[in-house]
Homo-oligomer: A and B are copies of this chain.
Amino acid sequence: MNSFQPTEQRLAVTCRRYPAFPREPAVLVRLVKHIYKRVHDDANALLKPWGIGHPEYNILMMMYGTEGYTLNPSQLADAAGEKSANITRLTNQLCDKGLIERTASDEDRRKVTLTLSKAGLAMIEAFLPAVCALLERQTTGLKPAEAAQLERLLKKFLDQLEQD
C-alpha cells in the first residue's frame, strides 16, 4: 500500500463517471508528479545542512558538469530546466553565498558569465558522497535492466511532449 492509492482510486471513479477519460495517460502524469515531489523533498532534506535547496543544487551541479565550470544564464536555464527569470534569482543567491562568480562577457556584452568558485567546488565535493548515497538508495528497487527500460520510456514520453 503506497501513497498513490488514493489518487489512483479517484481516477478509476473518474473513468466510470466520464468514460472518455483516458486512464493511462492520467495515471502516468500523476505518478510523475508524485515521484517528482518526493525526490524534491528528499533532496531538500539532505541539502539542508549545507544551507542550499534543491534548485540551487541543480545549478551548482550543472556548472560542475560543464567544461571550465563556466556557462551563462541562458545555457543554465536550459540545462537546469528552470525559466530564465528564475535563474537570475538563484544565481544571485549563489553569488551572495560566494559559491559562484558573475562577470560580464567581453565578446558579447549582453552576456554574463557564471563560474563556479573555489568555495562552490569545495561544497560540491563535500556533499557529493551523501548525494550519491541518496541516489543509489532511491533506485535500489529497480534492477539495472528495469532502470534502463524506464529511462528509455521516459525519454520517449518527453520526446512526445515536445512534439509541437
Contacts and interface: CB of A to CB of B under 8 A. Distances in A.
Interface stretch (A91-99, A101-109, A145-153): A145-153
- Provide the main secondary structure of the chain A interface: helix
Contacts of A25: 135-136, 138-139, 147
A142 B153 contact: yes
B142 A160 contact: yes
Contacts of A38: 158, 161-162
A135 B26 contact: yes
Interface residues of A, number: 73
Given A135-B29, A158-B2, A24 B147 contact: yes
Contacts of A138: 25, 29, 157, 160-161
Contact of A35 (B14, B129, B158): B158
